[in-house]
A = this chain, B = another copy of it.
Amino acid sequence: MLSKKTKYGIKALTFLARQKDNTPVQIAEIAKNEHISIKFLESILLLLRNSGFLGAKKGKGGGYYLIKDPKDISMAKVYRILEGPIALLPCASHNFYEKCDDCDDESTCAARRLMAEVRDNTLKVLESNSLADIAF
């Protein structure tokens, strides 16, 4: 299951994508509309900013705003930043590969083969959806 961090992050991105012009939106406003703890959301937005999805402006009239066009924001990338690996097993991951210490032979591991198939399908869905696709 997704962590709340990921869920809130996606909801925040969606909220920003739905703004008419790209003027900064304050944390508190997003938090209120999406019913998220302000402080928790703050750390999530910060992460999204440091990862290159959002820009931030301090002071009066400040807030967070999308840096790129929602069409160019892949949900697969968003997922990896917020949640981590898309694969369900480290040994079945492309971006976060790690060998299992309990596996003698990867090629005969049934769990790995099954989860690799799941990963392929999940990846296809996440990569074919941009932020614009899910926001509207």
Contacts and interface: CB of A to CB of B under 8 A. Distances in A.
Interface of A: 1-2, 7, 10-11, 14, 34-36, 75, 84-85, 87-90, 101-104, 109-111, 113-115, 117-118, 121-122, 124-126, 129, 134-135
Given A121-B124, A134-B113, A88 B2 contact: yes
Given A36-B102, A118-B122, A126-B118, A111 B1 contact: no
Given A2-B89, A102-B35, A109-B11, A134 B114 contact: yes
The complex is assembled from copies of this chain, and their number is 2
Nearest to A135: B110
A40 to B, nearest CB: 11
A118 to B, nearest CB: 5
Contact of A121 (B34, B102, B121): B121
A89 to B, nearest CB: 6
A75 to B, nearest CB: 6
Contact of A118 (B87, B102, B115, B125): B125
19 contacts: A1-B87, A1-B88, A1-B89, A1-B90, A2-B89, A7-B89, A10-B110, A10-B114, A11-B110, A34-B102, A35-B104, A110-B134, A113-B134, A114-B125, A114-B134, A121-B121, A121-B122, A121-B125, A122-B122
